[in-house]
Amino acid sequence: MPDTAAWECFDAAALNAFAESLLSKTGLTREQAQRCAEVLVEADLMGHSTHGLQLLAPYLRDAAAGRMCCGGEPEVVSDRGSAITWDGGFLPGPWLVRRAMDLAFERISEHPVTTLVIRRSHHIACLAAYLRHATERGLMMLLSCSDPVTGTVAPYGAIAGRYTPNPIAAGFPTDGAPVLIDISASTTTNGMTARMNRAGIGQRLSGPWLVDNQGNASDDPRVLLADPPGAILPLGGMDVGYKGFALGLLVEALTSGLGGHGRSDGETQWGASVFMQVLDPAAFGGRDRFMRETGWLAQACRSAPVKPGNPAVRLPGERALALRERQLKTGVALHPEIMPALAEWAQRLAVALPARAGSAT
């Protein structure tokens, strides 16, 4: 766990308003700015500090430079009712995903499995930040993405990157708290290794999660900056990384493959290929039976015996939801490098900085 002693806390509503103002002043519509701000702040509320407001400065940079498109609508490439494909035209990623979810929720009564893929979206931030919108409706949701421009993860057995960390997220309700899954098909992420490299010499990962250009496992994030660069290992590392490699390939097929646009097109712009699927348990074995089954399994896992002195089993999303509730009351803790980067944009765009949590306004 990171040392958060130096992290500053800010009121969640104030951060939302601040992020929305910055995004609006770089050309996003009010709705686009609201949706993007909500997703970024939600990520920090849940403790995903590399994929929340850490991304706001790069989003502002791309919007100001025209690399994030702020006008128009996604192009409908195909719509067969339950299967939809959009070309996002590099419109704001969080806005596109939330629009896709809204469409799926509208259609779910007629199409209890609704799948929407988006090609040429801009970056979509933290996948876990979207899941509650489905689980609170009693629905199950799958979400995944890849970036056709980036190749930092090595295929199993290789020493050079060919694809992205390729996260896989899923949320489903139980008779208690929902289960919220957000994992990468790689041992670590681009965001974490980039942050550690910015921090300077001496930073080390928690394990040998990278491979250098000589084929040696390494915990040194600087191997990704070497010439030629090393790579991130697939989930499972040197030992059983064939499992993560298989998951990474699956994500590529679900995102760029189904979207019909990806690495083979020679894309040069930072963005995302997105796969989203919403399922209604009521159309299968029934929603009540679904909840009974998922609830039983959740409780069975929590009550599983552990080694004496160890904490009880924690389900995916449990810590994030508890942290979210606490930070809504006490303030959102931001990594120390986030607000200084945003302060430059605030000065440039004449937007007031948010007050720290507990400060006089």
CA–CA distances in Å: residue 330 to residues 59, 123, 183, 317, 327? 27, 29, 27, 20, 5
Strands 167-172, 113-121: parallel, antiparallel or unpaired by DSSP? unpaired
- 102, 120: one domain: yes
> Would you state the structure tokens that stand for residue 23, as one six-digit string?
């995004």
Q: Is residue 226 a part of any domain in this protein? A: no
**What angle (nearest 5°) sits at the alpha carbon of residue 325, between those of residues 320 and 330?**
115
- 269, 350: one domain: no
Q: Is residue 158 a part of any domain in this protein? A: yes
Q: Is residue 212 a part of any domain in this protein? A: no
- 50, 102: one domain: no
Strands 113-121, 83-87: parallel, antiparallel or unpaired by DSSP? parallel
Q: Is residue 254 a part of any domain in this protein? A: yes
Q: Is residue 247 a part of any domain in this protein? A: yes
Q: Write down the residue that tokens 């933290």 correspond to.
A: 126
- 261, 164: one domain: yes
pLDDT at 128: 98
Tell whether the model's pLDDT for residue 116 goes beyond 80: yes
- 240, 360: one domain: no
> 3-state DSSP call for residue 141?
strand
pLDDT tens figures, 123-161: 999 999 999 999 999 999 999 999 999 999 999 999 999
User: Which domain covers residue 162, as residue numbers?
Assistant: 75-187+233-319
- 315, 340: one domain: no
- 2, 106: one domain: no
pLDDT tens figures, 48-95: 999 999 999 999 999 999 999 998 999 999 999 999 999 999 999 999
- 172, 312: one domain: yes
**Which of 17-26, 124-133, 198-207, 336-345 shows the lowest per-residue confidence on average (mean pLDDT)?**
198-207
- 36, 56: one domain: yes
pLDDT tens figures, 152-169: 999 999 999 999 999 999
Q: Work out the number of other CB atoms within 10 angstroms of the CB of residue 182.
A: 23
Tell whether the model's pLDDT for residue 212 goes beyond 60: yes
The H-assigned helical ranges of the chain are 12-25, 30-45, 56-65, 93-107, 128-135, 190-199, 237-252, 258-259, 287-302, 318-330, 338-349
Return the percentage of the chain with pLDDT > 90, whole number. Answer: 96
Q: Is residue 345 a part of any domain in this protein? A: yes
- 254, 177: one domain: yes
Q: Is residue 353 a part of any domain in this protein? A: yes
CATH for 34: 1.10.1530.10
- 30, 175: one domain: no
Predicted structure pTM score: 0.96
Looking at the structure of the chain, the number of domains it has is 2
What contacts 321, CB < 8 A, 6 or more positions away?
Answer: 46, 177, 178, 180
Binning the chain into helix, strand and coil, the percentages to the nearest 5 are: 40, 15, 40
**Which of 112-126, 189-203, 268-282, 286-300 shows the lowest per-residue confidence on average (mean pLDDT)?**
189-203
- 64, 125: one domain: no
